[in-house]
């Protein structure tokens, strides 16, 4: 990541040093960089699997998916991600993008989740599902259980308006979903799963 208006800001040596530090901080916080580092450390393990499938959901899932696609070898089966609707230029070639809504889930999110789950059929022990999870994922990856989508939307609005924190909101969300609270792991079985998780919650 680069500071685009750096020439306007860099008026002295001190300014240059401060901008250097800021750019390094932005680079280290870039989901792309973090994902490349994580996958690089697992390169030997990744090579053992017949197919690699990438799924992702969350505000950082596009940058994470871009890193995954560029890092992985040719022996993989593509994937799907559900980022917040903010991808301006899609550079992904194998991973499909279904842009969702956040923080209130919509029918778009439900349909995108169905597409993700469609990739998880016919998996074997020789397959690896790489899950790219980041902030906002619980709203973007949605399959209501026991309630309608409109009811889940209203519950989300009430929780947000009454001051509930993200831990409280997510606790309720997982009880109203067929894909949260460990259910995604069950759907991935018998394949192996690798989760790369980036959180924007302080303290995580």
Domain boundaries, the chain: 10-198
Give the model's confidence band at 75: pLDDT under 50 very low, under 70 low, under 90 confident, else very high.
Answer: low
10-198 — its CATH code?
3.40.50.10180
Q: Which residue has the higher pLDDT, 64 or 86?
A: 64
Give the tens place of pLDDT for each residue, 97-124: 999 999 999 999 999 999 999 999 889 9
Model-level pTM greater than 0.85? yes
Distance between first and last Cα of the chain: 24
Q: Which residues contact 24 (CB under 8 A, 6 or more apart)?
A: none
Angstrom distance (rounded) from CA 96 to CA 74: 16
- Give the Cα-Cα-Cα angle 32, 127, 45 (nearest 5 degrees): 60
């Amino acid at each position: 990541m680069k500071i685009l208006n750096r020439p306007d800001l860099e008026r002295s040596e001190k300014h240059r040093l401060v901008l250097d530090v800021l750019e390094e901080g932005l680079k280290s916080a870039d989901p792309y960089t973090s994902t490349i580092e994580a996958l690089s450390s697992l390169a030997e393990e990744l090579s053992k699997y017949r197919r690699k499938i990438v799924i992702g959901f969350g505000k950082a899932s596009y940058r994470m998916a871009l890193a995954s696609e560029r890092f992985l070898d040719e022996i993989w089966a593509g994937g799907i991600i559900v980022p917040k609707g903010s991808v301006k230029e899609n550079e992904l070639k194998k991973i499909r993008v279904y842009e969702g809504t956040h923080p209130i889930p919509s029918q778009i999110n439900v349909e995108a989740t169905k597409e993700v789950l469609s990739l998880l059929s016919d998996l074997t022990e020789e397959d690896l599902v790489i899950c790219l999870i980041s902030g906002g994922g619980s709203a973007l990856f949605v399959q209501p259980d026991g309630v309608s989508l409109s009811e889940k939307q209203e519950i989300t609005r009430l929780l947000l308006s009454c001051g509930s924190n993200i831990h409280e909101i997510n606790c309720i969300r997982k009880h109203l979903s067929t894909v949260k609270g460990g259910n995604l792991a069950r759907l991935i079985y018998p394949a192996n799963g690798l989760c790369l998780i980036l959180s924007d919650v302080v303290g995580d």
